[in-house]
Structure formats: C-alpha cells, structure tokens
Structure 1
Amino acid sequence: MSGALIRCFVAIPVSSEIAQLCADVARAAHSGRSLPAENLHLTLAFLGDRTRDALIELNDHFEAIKCRTFSIRLSGLGSFGNSLHMAVEPDSELLHLHESVQRCIRQAGLMLQRRRFRPHITIVRGIESALNKGFLQSPVPQATMVVTQFNLNSSTLRPDGARYETLSTYPLQLQGWSSQADDFADR
C-alpha cells in the first residue's frame, strides 16, 4: 500500500478570528465560491502526489524543525488567476519557517517547482475576471495571528471543492522556551 499516492501540502492553519475576517471579505466580493473556514490556510509548500513512504521520511525531517512561535499580519487583498486571497506580510520569522520547510523537503529527496513565496490565504475560487479592481484596493482590517504550528495535509479533489485532512501537526517552540527547560522537566 506504500505505493498509493497522496496529494498533499504543508501549511499554517488560520485562527478562527482570521477565518471569520476572511469569510466577511469573501462575502463582500460577491463573486466566486468562498472557501469553508476549515479549508483556510497559508501554504508553505505544495507537494503534489507523494507516496506514504516519502511522507514518512518527510515527517522525520519536519519533526526536527526548530522555529519559535511568531505572529503574522494580513496586509491587503490580491488575486492569482481566478482566486481571491488575503495577502500576508512576509516577515523574517515566516520566511525562516518557509525556508526550513523547503530545506526539509530537499533533504528528503523530494523535488518541487521553484516558485517565489508570496504568503497568502486563498479565500475565494472562481472569481470573475472582471472583479472590480477597486475591490482589491479595499482596506483590510488590521489583523494578526500567532503561528504556533504547521501541518502536513492531504487534499482530496471533489466536484464540490477540495477536502483537506491533517496528517501531521508540528508545534513551534514557545517564545522564551528552551531545550534546557525540557531537560529540567525530565529530572
């Protein structure tokens, strides 16, 4: 069964507050199909179709990532093709996590398309190409979210939209926490 392919990606899940804000903005667009709250995420890497064995090896690499929790901030609206998204400021902590994930993927021997990382949360698919450009300039409420984990997710494509399932969760280290504190707890 290890030869079966699983369509998957690595992502940061969004908080319920950010999901609600995204839903409000998606409704205001009056175009396309809004993504359900449980599908909202910030993609760190799209892996495509992979074997279970490849994902097990990748899991070992992801578990070794040592990044601290950090905050992300929404920075406006944007679109790629027929999708509408909330842009996220590409701060140094987010870029560090993205680079760490990319490095793990390479170490596991997996190849990815080289794409510039443009952090965003897709909120609507199937928007009209004539979406009012003024709408894209609409102010987005200042919103931040603390990133405490990233996930390895599977994606099953269906006629009514993709369904995602979390395969593994990788917690980030709390700010101010060190491995010495872990050593102390073991005594």
Structure 2
Amino acid sequence: MPRLFTALEISRDAALSLSLLRGGIIGPKGSVRWIDPENYHITLRFIGDVEGHVADEIVHALDRIDRQSFTLQLAGVDVFGSKKPHSIYAGVTPSPDLLALQAEMERICQRLRLPPDPRKFTPHVTLARLKGLPDMQLARYLSERGNFTTLPFNVSRFVLMSSKESTGGGPYVTEEVWPLRSASFNAGFENGQDVSASNYQFPAGAAE
C-alpha cells in the first residue's frame, strides 16, 4: 500500500534554483543520493499507510479546508541528523499562513485518530539522502551554499501525494488536489510570468 502525505508543490523557478544545488560533493559511492527536481515538495503532514476507507475520510475532511493562497520563499541549506546526517535540505522562511495550514491539517488528523507524527514540523525541501558521507565533505558543501535563497513564489493549492515504501525520495504520485482561495500576489505574475506552484513544470534536462 502506498504511503500518503499532504504537501505543497514548488514553483518552476524555485525548483530550477534548487536543482543548481545538486552536485559538488565527492564522497564514497552511494553516500549521496540527490532527489530528482520533479519530486521537490514541502511535506505538510505525513499520514503513512492507511486503509482505503480511512483515505476516503481524510480526503473528505481536507475538502473542508478553506484558506487563502500565500507566498513562500526558500532560504538556506542545512542537514538533518546532527550526529549521523541523513539528508540535506533547503529551508523555508517563516510563514504564518504555512503554519496555520499545517496546524489545521494536524487537527484533522487528530480527529481521525491517525498516529501522531513524532517529528516537530520543520518546513523544508529535501535535496539529497545521505549514507556515510564524510563530515568534512558535508561541512564544505554547506558552507559554500549557506546563502542560498529563492524569489518568493505563490502557493495556490495543496495536494495529497503517495510514495512507495521502499526507498523514499520519489517517485511521488499526486492523488488529490485542493485549490486555495485567490489572494493578491503582484497580480499573480512576476516579470510577466506566472510563478504559482500549480503551474510548475520542470524543464526537461534542466537538472543535468
């Protein structure tokens, strides 16, 4: 059974900026596994493996969320696992709208008696999975990319995604989509281009 989680998509421009962070680490074979750009996302609530009728209840409850769209910006690169680093991620600048949306989803999950997520919510985009990477290589990579930032982008919807249990990091499948109410964001354009996450389509070969 696929694992379910709710998430926010990443805009095309932000995904392109993130893809430029790939590489630059020389380590043992298999010590770094970079996430494909088409799988970039911000996890809101990990749900896990559930029966079909429970999944239906989750979808029905999420249908009731009524919130405005908002803007996000990615900034900084860091690592999870202080003693044994296991993943590199890009951070998200503080956003009350993001926290409010995630908190509402958490309340929904609690009402449905889903197992609590023991991890504190830390909004991020995972860039790579690590296994046995030397500390010196990781420290050098982080020091060279600590000033990473993207332009703000509009979040116009949230999604329910599924993943296979085996490896993590994709491929992910979008199972359901819920739009957020429109809110002003420079008329939804930047430099004459729509930058909403719902219009994300990563250009072929851009991550090579």
TM category, shorter: 0.7 to 0.9
**Equivalent residue, structure 2, for 1:133:** 139
Partner of residue 47, structure 1: 47
CA displacement 1:121-172 (0-9 Å, x = unmatched): 0011126242332432321134222111111111014569632111101111
Higher strand share: 1
When residues 160 and 172 of structure 1 are mapped into structure 2, their CA distance, relative to the original with a 3 A threshold, is closer
**Equivalent pairs: percent with the same residue?**
26
Q: Note if contact 2:39-2:169 (Cα within 8 Å) is conserved in structure 1.
A: no
Asked whether the 8 Å contact 2:160–2:175 carries over to 1, the reply is: yes
- In structure 2, stretches of 5+ residues that fail to align are 185-208
CA distance in 2, matches of 1:66, 1:48: 24
- Is the alpha carbon distance of 1:136 and 1:100 closer, same or farther for their aligned partners in structure 2, counting shifts above 3 Å? same
Q: How many residues align?
A: 172
CA deviation after TM superposition for structure 1 residue 87, in Å: 0.4
Matched to 2:129, the amino acid is R
**Residue among 136, 152, 166 paired with 1:144:** 152
Residue 5 (structure 2) aligns with:
9
Q: Secondary structure at the match of 2:50?
A: strand
The one-letter amino acid of 2:89's match is: H
CA shift for structure 1 position 175 = 1.4
Pick the aligned partner of 1:21 from 17, 24, 27.
17
Q: Compute the TM-score of the two structures, normalised by the length of structure 1.
A: 0.83
TM-score of the superposition, structure 2-length normalised?
A: 0.75
How does 1:12-161 map onto structure 2 within 5 Å? 12-29=8-25, 32-80=32-80, 81-126=85-130, 128-130=133-135, 131-137=137-143, 138=145, 139-158=147-166
Letter in 1 for 2:22: A
Q: Which protein, 1 or 2, shows the higher relative CO under an 8 Å CA cutoff with sep ≥ 6?
A: 2
Q: Where does structure 1 lack aligned partners over 5 or more consecutive residues?
A: 177-187
